[in-house]
Amino acid sequence: MTDTEFRHLKVLAQTDVAGFVAARRELIERMISGTDPERQARLWQLQDEIELMRATTPNADQVTQRLAQMISERLDALDLAFSRLPTAAEPIGETVNTAHGAKHQM
């Protein structure tokens, strides 16, 4: 999102709620549709979670806190997944299988 788009959304939020909602939705659709197709489904799922959170949370401060918590939880899960990568792979340099099944020490 550009600074101009942000300023436009800010003015709409203060002066034209319906216009703000439409412009925000258009921006979201443009951003998500600009990604590769297999990622779009995950992004729409995430956007649905955000919309549900916004609709069921009484004020903007609580929405911000809940979004920060959701992001933190996702980052923790990603960190855990990355931390498991080295232990999931066979250590490099132990043995190599040849095409005919023999193992050679590296």
- Could you identify the residue written with the tokens 């949370």? 57
- Could you identify the residue written with the tokens 């003015």? 11
**With 80 as the cut, is the pLDDT of residue 102 above it?**
no
pTM given for the model: 0.64
59 touches 80 (CB < 8 A) = no
What digits encode the pLDDT tens for the residues 20-68? 999 999 999 999 999 999 899 999 999 999 999 999 998 999 999 999 9
Q: pLDDT band for position 106 (50/70/90)? A: very low
pLDDT of residue 83: 84
Read off the pLDDT of each residue in 79-93 and give the average, rounded to a whole number: 71
103 touches 97 (CB < 8 A) = yes
Residue spans of beta strands (DSSP E) within 1-106:
95-97, 103-105
